Amino acid sequence: MLFEEVASYYEKLENVSSRLAMIDILSEMLGKAKRGEIRPLIYMTQGLLGPPFEGIDLGMAEKSAQHAIATATGYHNEEVVSVSRRLGDIGDAAEELVKKTKLRRMGSKRHGAVDVFETMIKIAHTGGAGSQEGKRNLLVSLLTASSPLEARYIIRFALGKLRLGAGDATILEALSKEATGTRENKPKLENAYNICSDLGKVGEILTESGMEGIGKLKVSLFSPVRPALAERLPTAEEILEKMHGRCAVESKYDGLRAQVHIDRGRRRVEIFSRNLEKITPMLPEIVKAALSEVKAEKAILEGEAIAYDETTREFRPFQETIQRKRKTGIEELSRSMPLHLFAFDLMFLDGEDYLNKPYEERREKLESILKKEGTILTSGRIIVDKPRDLEKYFEEQIEEGLEGIVAKELNSPYVAGARKFSWIKLKRSYKGELSDTVDLAIVGYYIGRGQRTEFGFGGLLAAAYNEKRDMFETVTRIGTGFSEEQMKNFKKILDKIKVPHKPARVDSLVTPDFWVEPKYVVEVRADEITRSPMHTCGRDSNDTGYALRFPRIVSDGVRGDKSADEATTTKEIIEMYGQQKRIKVEDA
């Protein structure tokens, strides 16, 4: 498949906003891929060079890309900068300058889609001194032989600005349609995706071994499983009723979620975060304990890493745990403020896939491979069948300085990547506040007025994620509660991703001063959820959506462990609205 073809599909994608039209275009494009091409094609369409957990970063600086365009087209660097500014996009600038260039083009050489992908991989792997020059030369080699349209997407891809508007859910649906003739197999493909977190791999298995191959996919070491998520219910009675009268109740630790993959023979450990980034170097004491304390040759277990003082037996606040998310000084921190892992699940053990085994069996096995003392411990838990006992355990956890509890259904499998009632969280909350915080995707921001003019930042437009539509629906404007430092930081990071028009996956009736590509998530607390004609979140046939009342930021800045697609969903907002009404009626 030629890259020119891929580029023209990308152009078509950019020009449609209906999800069904996107699925049609994507499935037609995927259908053109030959053997061996589907994997790179999917990664490329995601704007990636491999599955996200491998974290392959092109590391291309905008300045290098400008230089590359200048060299390949014979224009001065200043001209490239000024055209980019005029068009508002450096990819569009590359397209225009390639169209206008007087330099002789290497027209006879046509790029294969896989060749472009492989050159990008080379760019990513070019490191060391003079790496920007090396990266630039590779980019020039692509641009000197590309058509204007190809240049547009090569540059956007190289700078991580592809923004085709197709999320993972849409790509999965397109794959289903292309390979099986119907969109209805999407849930099965999603299931496979939840097990391996690798859309390219799912696409490859599907095209090579069909749905049978998809059904056989098993969890494998060093390929993270998408985490199971918890639903919410406001009272112990409701939780027990949902759990058919009996369930496990575990302590809920407020730390960093960690999925630990262990291969003792090879002395290899990898740890993945909530959004499946490799965080191994940040947790040296847990890596060490994984090799010395866990009684298994090969295992995948999951838990919460949290700063815990063994002497005073005190859990430390989240702000202390999160200090680990930095690049330097880790060894020192691991001595002065060591973390413990409170393991709560087991996904794989010595060649056996545990995902489909019931919770009780997974938990029993987990306890059998861990010691009673050390760095890796099992999470606290009891089994209850009375609301009063659940409440008592909840109160005890709060006393201990923990966040609350997670109730777990005894016979449920590990439901990878989904929010189901087999896990239900109950957190401490205060009167007059929504029972839980929400995590919202930033889709736009406002420039500061009055006192804030100097920061160039006056607030955020935030959205929930609608899984069914694969769209971001606005739910609130957040204009208060920012420190000066936060305002500066938001402005800095959002400026890098601002776009001239409303992004394809955003549904909004409100227009902020600047739109941004949905990428970052902020944690927000509010007093209440109300019905509102202003916001698109959960909008019904009367054009009434849902909105937050008195929203304020809780996270220090953006939440580093969640991507926009992992924001609180519209469905959750509607559920929380329903629960809040119930509580009010009970209060009255």
Catalytic residue annotation: 252
In the window 85-144, what residues touch ligand ATP (CB under 6 A)?
none
Residue 490: exposure state from Cβ atoms within 10 A (0-12, 13-18, ≥19): buried
One character per residue 231-270, x = contact with ligand ATP (rule: CB under 6 A) = -------------------xxxx---x-------------
**Torsions phi, psi for 288 (to 5 deg):** -60, -45
- For ligand ATP, the closer of residues 131 and 580 by Cβ is 580
One character per residue 52-91, x = contact with ligand ATP (rule: CB under 6 A) = ----------------------------------------
Site size for ligand ATP (CB under 6 A): 14
One character per residue 324-363, x = contact with ligand ATP (rule: CB under 6 A) = --------------------x-------------------
CA distance 523 to 489: 16
409 binds ligand ATP (CB under 6 A): no
Report the residue from 101, 280, 379, 579 that binds ligand ATP according to the rule CB under 6 A.
Answer: 379
CA distance 172 to 491: 34
Neighbours of 194 (CB within 10 A): 21
Shortest gap between Cβ of 268 and ligand ATP (angstroms)?
24
DSSP string, 518-572: S--EEEEE-SEEEEESS--TT--TTS-EEEEES-EE-SSSS-TT--GGGSPBHHH
- For ligand ATP, the closer of residues 59 and 413 by Cβ is 413
Report the residue from 16, 121, 221, 229 that binds ligand ATP according to the rule CB under 6 A.
Answer: 229
Report the residue from 425, 477, 505, 519 that binds ligand ATP according to the rule CB under 6 A.
Answer: 425
The H or E element spanning position 506 is: strand 506-507
Cβ proximity of 582 and 560 under 8 Å: no
Shortest gap between Cβ of 105 and ligand ATP (angstroms)?
50
Contacts of 239 (CB under 8 A, 6+ apart): 233, 247, 387, 390, 407, 424, 426
277 binds ligand ATP (CB under 6 A): no
Shortest gap between Cβ of 556 and ligand ATP (angstroms)?
14
Angle between helices 3-14 and 19-31 (to 10 degrees): 170
Shortest gap between Cβ of 522 and ligand ATP (angstroms)?
11
Shortest gap between Cβ of 46 and ligand ATP (angstroms)?
21
CA distance 437 to 519: 19
439 binds ligand ATP (CB under 6 A): yes
230 binds ligand ATP (CB under 6 A): yes
DSSP string, 285-305: HHHHHHHHT---SEEEEEEEE
Shortest gap between Cβ of 229 and ligand ATP (angstroms)?
4
- For ligand ATP, the closer of residues 213 and 358 by Cβ is 358
- The amino acid at residue 116 is V
Which of 89, 166, 162, 13 has the alpha carbon at shortest distance from 505? 166
Beta strand 545-549 pairing with 528-532: antiparallel
Residue in the shown chain whose Cβ atom is closest to ligand ATP: 257
Cβ proximity of 455 and 491 under 8 Å: yes
- For ligand ATP, the closer of residues 204 and 304 by Cβ is 304
Residues in touch with ligand ATP (CB under 6 A): 229-230, 250-253, 257, 274, 304, 344, 379, 406, 425, 439
